[in-house]
Amino acid sequence: MRIVVAASLIDQLVHAAASAPMEEVCGLLFGEPGRIVEARPAANVAPDRTASFEVDPAALFAAFRAERVGGPRLIGHYHSHPNGLAEPSQRDLAAAEPGRIWLIIGGATVRAWLATAGDFHEITLLTD
């Protein structure tokens, strides 16, 4: 499986993560099958933002409401790992919603993952 995303969007995510290097930044991904068209930042409301993320429920509910009336399709989430590893953690695995795309930023590296029941599978990330 592969997913396409604009190089400028990847740069935006790397910059956002670099602007808060000691915390996990996060947001929502919108698009269509095989393509991410938008990444929308959201507040990380986790109790310990240095070790985990929780997308602000208000942002999540707003995305669901907008999608129901023809807005962009929510296809996943993104977040950064201050430890620099762009791969799912055990916390990520516990929170994974099957079928959602996860972009994980570690330093200047961004990798794409598909959440499945109890696991993640890496997706080839192509930029245009």
Residue ranges of domains in the chain: 2-127
Nearest to 31 by CA among 61, 2, 58: 2
Question: How far, in Å, CA of 13 to CA of 19, rounded?
Answer: 10
Confidence of residue 114 (pLDDT cuts 50, 70, 90): very high
Whether 36 and 9 have beta carbons less than 8 Å apart is answered as yes
- pLDDT for res 70: 96
Count of all residues that appear for the chain in the document: 128
Whether 4 and 126 have beta carbons less than 8 Å apart is answered as yes
Which CATH number is associated with domain 2-127?
3.40.140.10
- pLDDT for res 40: 97
- The average pLDDT across 73-93 equals 92
Please, what is the average pLDDT of the chain?
94
Distances in Å between the Cα of 78 and the Cα atoms of 12, 37, 57, 70, 124 are 12, 13, 15, 22, 15
The structure's pTM equals 0.94
Q: Does position 1 have pLDDT exceeding 90, yes or no?
A: no
Q: Does position 96 have pLDDT exceeding 90, yes or no?
A: no
